[in-house]
Structure 1
Amino acid sequence: MASRSEEDLCCPVCQEIFTDPVILSCSHSFCKDCLKRWWKERPTHECPICKRRSSKPEPPLNRALKNLCESFLQERDQRAPEGLCSLHSEKFKLFCLDHQQPVCVVCCASEKHTNHRFRPIDEAAQQHKKELQETLEPLKEKLKICEEVQVKFDQTAKHIKVQARHTERQIKEQFKKLHQFLAEEEEARLAALRE
């Protein structure tokens, strides 16, 4: 059950912690979206609590309340044990298919999840696991092919290096023989010239 301080931070329309709270001239605050929806369904822009008419079509943001709500949510999220809903401290038993997030049974009935589709959390987890496996399989195949190609590339690179060294050795030997032949030929010609 919500504590007294948490109740003070709840919007009177959706009963959830304020999101972008706005303040009316009568000093009542509401979530910006909740107030817009409320006004859309009525001919006049009146306060949902005291019915006093609002002169401003765009009420100002209640910054102090917004900061309070954000601080409260941060603290509560840090305190909330894993596997429990940070809003209602209930165990996650359902998965909202529209928001793609786990929810408790109280969240399921909240306005935030109106007309949403739900699955038991274990069933949703299995489905997500199956989808991940299906996505993972082709990636594993691609990784295997990439590793095989990498091995072939490494072998080819090694072979090219060996071939390059061998060719270099052959070129040096050929030029060494050529130099030797030219030196001998030079010597022979010079000897012949002297004679």
Structure 2
Amino acid sequence: MPYLSRVVIAAATAILLAGCYTATPDPEVSSRDAEWLAQVPKAEQDPIYARYMMKDDTGEEPGTIIVDTKARQLYYVLPGGKMMRYGVAVGNEAFGWTGTAVVQRKAEWPDWHPPAEMKQRWPHVRDTKGGPGNPLGARALYLYQNGKDTLYRIHGTNEPEKIGRAESSGCIRMRNIDVIDLYNRVQSGAKVIVK
């Protein structure tokens, strides 16, 4: 195929997709957030994992979070037939979790307390105070089933280069700016579907 034809097809495809996907600006952040975010390592982002507003095709109620572990995407259903898409890192095969839960707790720059089984696997992990070096990043949404903590979280990360991979111990990791955006939208009690 001639070069000019490929360019025309690529441009036409971009125009058609522009109606389906809308890039969204970063949320406003506090001065503390800005200072701490500046201390977290930066990573190149594959556009497939960028935050986009798009048409909702989930059939779920607004306010619902859906995590597609195979696609490494999290969707937040908005009113008016729209949803926000975010790239995520998910649990590797040995530690992946699926199911339905609710967001019962939300925290900004949370402390990290690794579960006992994680400390057994990796004796070097320690409790860590909230801040730029914390593995939970800027925000955390705590997932519960039947009133019981699942020990799984949707949270930020201090390893943004791993977005798009199956690298975690089961939690759903997001870029810090994306988890701040999601945190600002999500209400306690929100339904979360991880599949």
- TM-score range for the pair, normalised by the shorter chain length: under 0.3
TM norm structure 1? 0.20
Q: Which one has more relative contact order, counting CA pairs under 8 Å at least 6 apart?
A: 2
Report which of the two has the higher share of strand: 2
Higher helix share: 1
